[in-house]
A and B are shown apart, each in its own frame.
Chain A
Amino acid sequence: MSATPATKPAFIEKSMKKINKIKLGLPIELLKDQTVKLFQAAGYNLQIDEGLYRGYIDEPEIEIFLARDQELTFYTKQGAVDAAIAQEAYLLDQKVKIVPIASFDYGVNIWSNAKIVLAVPENSKIKSIKDLKGKKILSRVPTLTKEYLKRHNIAAKVEWTDRPAEPKIPSLGDAIVEFTNTGTTLKAFNLKIIDVLLETSPTLFMNKKSYQDKWKREKIENLAILLKGARLAQEHAGLMLHASNEMMDKVLKVLPALKKPTVTQLNGENWFDVLTVANKKEIRKIIPKLKKIGCTDIVEFPLNKVVP
């Protein structure tokens, strides 16, 4: 025990030893709602009481721990939790060594990734990165920002800021590096984007020691398969149709290749039942094409999970 670093209290050591239970860190605040939606889509009943900082899940082998995601990264490294979901950008910024398992591509109330952008006031004289020389940048991800400036050979002052950064310029700095999902906040503060540093996805990652525990690793990998499957299902739908023997060649050419279509001959007829899965955006184009080919009884149905 004497070798235990001061950052890892004894009670954490104890809870790590408890087998057959995974401690999972989930983000509160901005990413909370979308994370809960993802778990629900994967078939879990996850409820978060943000007032009491407690989470409940109908899976006895998982214990929920709630914190801001920029903290979950190092809590995972320290072993306070076995695994957690947090923005990939924090992982990169904090240089925390943990094992990434899967990314889920969502943002704040939106099913697409956030971007980390460099922004300045609309009327600022800063028009490009070059103009940042000698200026002060307030950043949510200071390390990444410094690396970015170095790549562009710009010497500027970088200061860490917590959320929100938008109201802090121009009074406290010349530019900000901040997350943006829809761009609404930037617009509300009359800011314009000069450059995009990176796109960031909520990522499930594991503590190194927990990753070496076969049971824990499988448990988290299984969770990742289900969450990823639920996420993919949101973008796909099932498609069912009837086509005659003569149409089949054309039909199979139109259908996408994610899943080989299942073709069944209709009883005693020259017609076939075709079942497949496709991206919803593709389906918009496919259905009119199928109709033109002469397919009948085209039915689209929603999916819960897609695991390729």
Chain B
Amino acid sequence: MQTFSKTIKLGIPKGSLQEYTIKIFKLAGFDINIPERGYFLRIDDPEIECFLLRPQEIPKYVEKGKLDLGISGDDWILESKAKIIEICDLKYAKQEIKKVKWVLTVSKDSKIKSIKDLEGKTISTEAVNLVKDYLKKNKVKAKVEFSWGAAEVKPPRFADAMVDITETGASLRAHNLKILDTILVSSTKLITNKTTWQDKWKKEKISDLALLLQGAVKGEEVINLMMHVPGEKLNRILKVLPKLKSPTIKKLTGENWYDVEISCKEKETRELIPKLKRMGCQGIVEWPVVKLIP
């Protein structure tokens, strides 16, 4: 087996971002295997070494150069105050329903009605720095206590307020909490450090990887659509098609029908496909895009 003197060390986030990260790498063309109970991941690229780590720790390891490249959320990048370089956003369109939102909450019957009322109070959270920065920005002095988890149960008995991630709000409702403010909407980022970025080989390797990952993220949102259009309706139908890319039009042999092929955003198909069917298109077929490199 050929050994590569040069490798980049990559940190993959364990936990809620893990499944999506592995999926995006797969779409980008990289297979990552997670051995049971293992933290040394296997990736089918001998120039990459892969580690499974908590997203809270990845920014610091990237800053210190223990990792060349990492994936983590804005929340943990800000919380750790790590000096890193953001290469690109790996925001996932399908996560829209489950955005990572850090919210400030209090009990429904609490006397705290706004941020100002937090003066002198205690706030429980896992993201202590994030909350301290937020209070500073709003010129409020309050005590911020680190919480090991289950912050929902803290107000009102163990703290006056709490800051935590909410996805659907179901857990907040179950604990009789209401949202006072959204502190941060966190996205997923690909990060590196200055030293790595100055290494010509590493920079090129990482840039290529970033291009493929972004292509996979974009590809997730986009689909191909193919349909048969009767000749007399071709012009009307071309007008309603989205303009992501010029359509490819081919005349069907010996018939007054055309085959039209386009790419468009997956979400647009919800309106577009029924519309096209109503307008007289036939044989509408949608298939997935793996990567989209503009």
Interface residues of A (CB under 8 A from B): 43, 45, 47, 49, 52, 54, 56-59, 218, 221-222, 225-226, 229, 233, 238, 258-260, 262-264, 275, 277, 301-308
The 7 closest A-B CB pairs, nearest first, are: A259-B283, A222-B274, A305-B286, A307-B284, A262-B259, A304-B286, A58-B97
Across-interface contacts of B170 in A (CB, < 8 A): 49, 52, 54
Across-interface contacts of B228 in A (CB, < 8 A): 259-260
Across-interface contacts of B94 in A (CB, < 8 A): 45, 58
Across-interface contacts of A226 in B (CB, < 8 A): 269-270, 273-274
Dominant secondary structure of chain B at its interface with chain A: mixed
A228 CA to B49 CA, complexed, in Å:
44
B288 touches A258 (CB 8 A): no
Pick the contact of A52: B174, B226, B287 (CB < 8 A): B174
Interface residues of B (CB under 8 A from A): 94, 96-98, 168, 170, 174, 223, 226, 228, 250, 252-253, 255, 257, 259, 266-267, 269-271, 273-274, 277, 282-288
A54 CA to B228 CA, complexed, in Å:
40
B267 touches A43 (CB 8 A): yes
A157 CA to B275 CA, complexed, in Å:
51
- 14 additional A-B residue pairs with CB within 8 Å, beyond A221-B274, A222-B270, A225-B273: A43-B223, A43-B267, A49-B168, A52-B170, A58-B94, A59-B270, A222-B271, A222-B274, A225-B277, A260-B255, A303-B286, A304-B287, A306-B284, A306-B286
Nearest CB in chain A to that of B224: its residue: A304
B250 touches A264 (CB 8 A): yes
Pick the contact of A301: B96, B273, B287 (CB < 8 A): B287
Q: A303 to chain B: closest CB distance in Å? A: 5
B273 touches A304 (CB 8 A): no
Across-interface contacts of A262 in B (CB, < 8 A): 226, 250, 252, 259
A303 and B287 in contact, given A222-B271, A263-B253 (Cβ under 8 angstroms): yes
A277 CA to B257 CA, complexed, in Å:
17
A34 CA to B282 CA, complexed, in Å:
28
A304 touches B223 (CB 8 A): yes
Q: A62 to chain B: closest CB distance in Å? A: 10
The winner among B97, B252, B286 for most chain A CB atoms within 10 A is: B286
Across-interface contacts of A308 in B (CB, < 8 A): 282-284
Q: B255 to chain A: closest CB distance in Å? A: 8
12 A–B contact pairs at CB < 8 A? A45-B96, A57-B97, A222-B270, A222-B271, A225-B277, A226-B273, A260-B255, A262-B226, A262-B259, A301-B287, A306-B284, A306-B285
A277 and B97 in contact, given A226-B273, A260-B252 (Cβ under 8 angstroms): no
